[in-house]
Amino acid sequence: MQQLISPPARPSADPGSPESLAAVYAYPDQVNHGLPWLRANMVAGLDGGARLDGLSEGLSGDADKLIFGVLRALSDVVLVGAETVRAEGYRPARAPAAFAAARRAAGQAPAPVIAIVSRSLGLDLAAPLFTEPLVRTVVITTADSPAESRRAVAEVADVIVAGEGSVDLPAAVAALAGRGWTRLLTEGGPRLLGQLAAADLLDELCLSLAPLITAGDAPRIIHGAEMPDAQRMRLVSLIEQKGFLFTRYQRLHPDSAPSAT
Ligand SMILES: NC(=O)c1ccc[n+]([C@@H]2O[C@H](COP(=O)([O-])OP(=O)(O)OC[C@H]3O[C@@H](n4cnc5c(N)ncnc54)[C@H](OP(=O)(O)O)[C@@H]3O)[C@@H](O)[C@H]2O)c1
């Protein structure tokens, strides 16, 4: 694994070690002052597809899984759309041993909370995500979601109600930050990510580019929602391993000067 563009690191550090990757992907300081930072982590093929045979697994590789784990280990909460939970068979987040001390020192739970966005509440409540999480799973839903399902979900998860008709995502992010969870990570899927981007909530995109062409009709990683203007992003780190590129882009706000690089 080689870091092509990265923050200064000790020359002797192994670029693939959890410590090096934690330094590359450190959340900005604002998260220590109660301000949320929303990072997305997604993988795509070279032609932009966000899934292969219906899942992201076929696009992934060893280093992608390693970085996926590091990004989870740094986060307080993993925000995810219900369809990704259903399609990918989401399980509870693990407590990463290499990050146990750092998480304790930062006042974080041993593992990030999984927070699922769903209006239908069509979720498998007998799954380990609800029966065996290290930290109780959160479900973010609307005021008009099916009342009976909401009662059943509340037995096994914390329920946050934000908006009516569809989840009000700015309110949802504020509710998560209000619980002290400011290191936010979203793992999609594309439809949730589209809405987060359109609502101007996405601060950062960690995009893994897999050296594959898949064709077909897979959606792009950010899909569906319309945005009035394209959002400009700034590349802050780039890692390569076995032809995979691991990019980290941060939002360049309209009033920022264009990057010189
Ligand atoms: N390449 C990657 O990195 C990557 C990452 C993640 C997922 N994926 C792939 O993407 C696919 C799933 O993604 P997707 O885009 O179809 O779905 P998704 O964004 O994961 O989930 C969509 C679902 O989330 C809920 N939802 C989203 N926004 C909502 C809102 N504002 N209010 C209320 N509910 C809301 C709804 O759930 P209800 O239907 O329950 O109401 C909706 O049906 C899978 O094939 C997965 O493998 C790829």
Q: What is the pLDDT of residues 19-75, one digit of tens each?
A: 999 999 999 999 999 999 999 999 999 999 999 998 999 999 999 999 999 999 999
In angstroms, rounded to a whole number, what is the distance separating the alpha carbons of residues 193 and 40?
Answer: 8
CA of 55 to the centre of ligand 1 (A): 12
Residue to probe by mutation, ligand 1, list 59, 64, 78, 83, most atoms within 8 Å of CB:
83
Phi, psi of 205 (to 5 degrees): -125, 120
**Torsional sign, CA 66, 67, 68, 72:** positive
Q: Which atom of ligand 1 is nearest to the CA of 163?
A: 32
CA of 118 to the centre of ligand 1 (A): 9
CA of 188 to the centre of ligand 1 (A): 6
CA of 193 to the centre of ligand 1 (A): 8
Give me the pLDDT at residue 261, please. Answer: 40
Give me the pLDDT at residue 15, please. Answer: 83
In angstroms, rounded to a whole number, what is the distance separating the alpha carbons of residues 102 and 60?
Answer: 27
In angstroms, rounded to a whole number, what is the distance separating the alpha carbons of residues 116 and 127?
Answer: 14
Regarding the beta carbon of 173 and ligand 1, being less than 6 Å apart is answered: no
With a cut of 70, list the residues of the chain below it in pLDDT: 7-12, 254-261
